[in-house]
A and B are shown apart, each in its own frame.
Chain A
Amino acid sequence: MNKIKQIAPVKKMNWFDKIAHPGQFLIWSRYLILPLIIITITTFIIGLWYAFFNSPEDYQMGNTVRIMYIHVPTAWLSQFIYVMMAISSIGSLVWRHPLADVAMKVAAPLGATFTAMALFTGALWGRPTWGTYWEWDGRMTSTLILLLMYLGLIALWRSFDDQLRAAKLVAIITLVGVINIPIIKFSVDWWNTLHQPSIISSKGISMPPEIYTPLFIMLFAFTMLFILLQTNAMRTEIIRRKADRLMRKKINKNSGAKNNV
């Protein structure tokens, strides 16, 4: 005789569930927006001032080196956001947490934007440095592929009507993607060395400490910008879903009333 139980996990609200509940999130994150705006603007002003007026020109690249202060932070965000999405995916699949769904969904367009910015600034930088806008260099190729992955995820989100079901499925492909990224990077580098024995190396920039300071400030500023945009987009998405749910409730009520008559 076998005795088996299938029990739905009884949710005990711990502190994390409390603050991560979508409704709660709406309440406490409201107080986050203004400080975030202030921090972001201030760090951007300081960072840009440093970048434009208080950092040296590169002895080879001249003034164009200043593109780096936009390029490096956006390139960093392009990868950071994907990792964040992957972590949210685990939250969505394992704990079925609605906030993880929302975080994952709104991060994709942001990630795509920062990745596109990284590619664009990279191209602008490449023109004076390498003499061409586009070079099939390992890093640029990997970043391009990352952009394609972001765009694919956005397209996938858009093609589902039921966003709750979409979340879990997008989460799966996001995770498959994050496992794949190192392999893709490795293969692209391998392919790159195969075809052009490193004439161009993007590592060859000498970095004096005067460049570090503005770079780190800009990195911080961009990360703050992302957190601000992400928080705000998550709030919008939660409110939109709430509105949706209310609307559906109303429709159900109305049609139900008709049936009873």
Chain B
Amino acid sequence: MQQQQQQLRVNNLSLERSGRQILSDINFALKEGEALLLRGDNGVGKTSLLMSIAGYLHINSGEIEWEIKRDTKREEGEEWGEEEENLLIKNLHFIGHQQAIKPHLTLEENLLFWCQLYGGEEKWVQEALIRVGLANAISYQAALLSAGQSKRLSLARLLVANRPIWLLDEPSSALDKNGDKLVADLIDEHLDGGGIAIIATHLNIELKNKKRIKTLMLKAI
């Protein structure tokens, strides 16, 4: 049974950016249904750590290891190599500061694009918009959204495709009380479904089951 669990392990990770050591000797392991909160002052490398796990940054030493279940069901006519599919970068969601929203497109068009790109099912778009509380704005242009609503729309990207690992960078910034609750609920559901989440935040995120949360305090080097 132990073997069947999804997990993500990071060993001895260290990272240099622009000739400066940002992270060194980062270690943690997450099993399915567990979340990691990254804490620390501005500039200690929370975002950098998320980005290096996502594979955006070239790590200088250490390893990122993960085991994952996938259903091998594929759409007809869409084939990519086994190797390609196994890449960590194809199995995660990353929601950063930038929201990747096109103001000229409607909410639905915006989200549908990401749904197709991430290989989700198109009916999830509607559901996702309802879930984040933007159901009645579905055919409006995204330019009309407020900062908080834009954030909700970018969070909706998490719901348009099933991916076991979520990397969230300050998910509750610009959000109100209800929004905080929404973020917490989304993460809870994801963990219930056996997912893994890493969240960089300076706010409290109230999850149902406190035991599932680990915290990693980053310190400036």
So, do A and B actually touch in the complex, CB under 8 Å? yes
B117 CB within 8 Å of chain A: no
A3 CB within 8 Å of chain B: yes
| B62 pairs with A8, CB closer than 8 A | yes
* B108 neighbours in A (Cβ, 8 Å): none
| B19 pairs with A8, CB closer than 8 A | no
Query: Taking chain B's interface residues, is the majority helix, strand, or loop, or is none over half, making it mixed?
Result: mixed
Residue in chain B with minimal CB distance to A162? B18
Interface residues of A (CB under 8 A from B): 1-8, 10-11, 96, 162, 164-165, 241, 245, 248, 252, 256, 259
The CA-CA distance from A162 to B70 in the complex, in Å, is 40
* Contacts A/B (CB < 8 Å), 9 sampled: A1-B68, A2-B86, A3-B67, A4-B66, A4-B88, A6-B55, A7-B62, A164-B18, A245-B20
Most A CB contacts (10 A, CB to CB) among B3, B19, B61, B65 go to B19
Interface string of B22-39 (1 = CB under 8 A from A): 000000000000000000
| B86 pairs with A4, CB closer than 8 A | yes
With contact pairs A1-B68, A4-B68, A4-B88 given, residues A248 and B20 touching in the complex (Cβ less than 8 Å): yes
* B3 neighbours in A (Cβ, 8 Å): 1
| B67 pairs with A2, CB closer than 8 A | yes
Q: How many whole Å from A16's CB to the nearest CB in chain B?
A: 19
The CA-CA distance from A241 to B18 in the complex, in Å, is 11
Residue in chain A with minimal CB distance to B70? A2
* B60 neighbours in A (Cβ, 8 Å): 8
Complex partner residue of A4 from B4, B19, B58, B65, CB under 8 angstroms: B65
Q: How many whole Å from B158's CB to the nearest CB in chain A?
A: 22
Complex partner residue of A245 from B19, B62, B67, B69, CB under 8 angstroms: B19
With contact pairs A1-B3, A1-B4, A3-B67 given, residues A8 and B59 touching in the complex (Cβ less than 8 Å): yes
Most B CB contacts (10 A, CB to CB) among A2, A3, A241 go to A2
Complex partner residue of B68 from A2, A11, A162, A164, CB under 8 angstroms: A2
The CA-CA distance from A1 to B1 in the complex, in Å, is 12
* B67 neighbours in A (Cβ, 8 Å): 1-4
* A165 neighbours in B (Cβ, 8 Å): 18
Interface residues of B (CB under 8 A from A): 3-4, 13, 18-20, 41, 55, 58-70, 86-88, 220
The CA-CA distance from A1 to B164 in the complex, in Å, is 13
* A162 neighbours in B (Cβ, 8 Å): 18
* B65 neighbours in A (Cβ, 8 Å): 3-6
The CA-CA distance from A259 to B66 in the complex, in Å, is 37
Residue in chain A with minimal CB distance to B68? A2
The CA-CA distance from A96 to B220 in the complex, in Å, is 25
Q: How many whole Å from A50's CB to the nearest CB in chain B?
A: 47
| A259 pairs with B64, CB closer than 8 A | no
Complex partner residue of B69 from A1, A11, A252, CB under 8 angstroms: A1
| A5 pairs with B64, CB closer than 8 A | yes
* B64 neighbours in A (Cβ, 8 Å): 5-7
Residue in chain B with minimal CB distance to A6? B64
4 closest Cβ pairs, A-B complex: A7-B63, A6-B64, A8-B59, A5-B65
| B87 pairs with A5, CB closer than 8 A | no
* B55 neighbours in A (Cβ, 8 Å): 6
* A11 neighbours in B (Cβ, 8 Å): 61
* A1 neighbours in B (Cβ, 8 Å): 3-4, 67-69
Q: How many whole Å from B162's CB to the nearest CB in chain A?
A: 15
Complex partner residue of B63 from A8, A248, A259, CB under 8 angstroms: A8
* A3 neighbours in B (Cβ, 8 Å): 65-67
Residue in chain B with minimal CB distance to A11? B61
The CA-CA distance from A157 to B128 in the complex, in Å, is 45
The CA-CA distance from A7 to B13 in the complex, in Å, is 9
| B63 pairs with A5, CB closer than 8 A | yes
The CA-CA distance from A48 to B18 in the complex, in Å, is 46
The CA-CA distance from A96 to B68 in the complex, in Å, is 31
* A164 neighbours in B (Cβ, 8 Å): 18-19
| B63 pairs with A6, CB closer than 8 A | yes
